Amino acid sequence: MVSEQRKKEILDAISNAVVQYDEDQCAAWCKTALQEGLDAYEATMKGLAAGMDTVGELYSRQEYFVPELLLCSDALYAGLDILRPHIRTDSAVHKAKLLLGVVEGDIHDIGKNLVKTMFEAAGWEVHDLGRDVRLDKFVEEQKKIKADLVGLSALMTTSMMAIEKVIGMLKASDPDVKVLVGGAPLNPEIATKFGADGYAEDAVRAVQEAGHIIRRQTV
Ligand code: B1M
């Protein structure tokens, strides 16, 4: 079993590689994490996602700009490619369908992709519409797929407003549709105000909350 000190060293190295937009180092440290027995999900959240939090702070302080953000994202994805296949699956979870996307006007998809990874790891069938998704596309696809849950993500206060609109459109088309929302500007109060059936602040809680929503529906 790896010591706490070594674990911290590896997680910090993964995080730093994201911040320094070093794809090779990021991939190499993620491989080290697996070789030394770290949990792949913990390495994703406390290494890769933690690095992206620091990047966000640098961006806010105008030390990093959009090109750096993109390079950091590339480094994060290089690491995620290594870790993703090792994120533990929960075969006990009911095989359900999720229709997922980032709403119109918003191209931030790193968080949505982590959410997708966690749902897939938990055994869900995920229909990923991508980012900057036209609002009527969610309604159109939901009619075809009849997913158990629609997941909406928004990362900006501006694009967040589209969530309320699309929930209205989805519920007008099918009053029984269930919607889960998430993304940095949202919180449980806003989610409720927008008419969502659930809110989650991160990818793991999203899967847990999805389970609660589905169970509430079937009892
Ligand atoms: Co931009 N960006 N960005 N950006 N960017 C933010 C969001 C911002 C807060 C930065 C800032 O000003 N401090 C700010 C928004 C301000 C606001 O709210 N109004 C901002 C801005 C302004 C912009 C541009 C307008 C900049 C410009 O062009 N001048 C532009 C937007 C263009 C557009 O969308 N139309 C822009 C562009 C970009 C890049 C393309 C360069 C890049 C995105 C790359 C990509 O996603 N492919 C980028 C990035 C990387 C960021 C920051 C730095 C990091 C976002 C991120 O990936 N976080 C961000 C600052 C920050 O967040 N500190 C910022 C890591 C990720 C793991 O976390 O996405 O929160 P997150 O996801 C979490 C949870 O939120 C949750 O789970 C995830 C995993 O745990 N979650 C869900 C997310 N979706 C969920 C759905 C669920 C449940 C949980 O259920 C369905």
pLDDT in tens, 153-173: 999 999 999 999 999 999 999
125 has which bridge partners? 97
Token duo for residue 211: 């389970």
CA 176 to centroid of ligand 1, rounded, Å: 30
Is the C-beta atom of 18 inside 6 A of ligand 1? no
Is the C-beta atom of 210 inside 6 A of ligand 1? no
DSSP 20: T
Average pLDDT over residues 90-101: 76
| Segment (H or E) for 151 | strand 149-153
Is the C-beta atom of 126 inside 6 A of ligand 1? no
pLDDT in tens, 17-57: 999 999 999 999 999 999 999 999 899 989 998 998 899 88
Average pLDDT over residues 81-95: 74
Does the pLDDT at position 218 exceed 70? no
Mean pLDDT, the chain, whole residue set: 92
pLDDT band at 79 (very low <50, low <70, confident <90, very high): very high
φ and ψ of 167, to 5 deg? -65, -40
| Segment (H or E) for 4 | helix 4-19
Average pLDDT over residues 88-110: 84
| pLDDT for 219 | 53
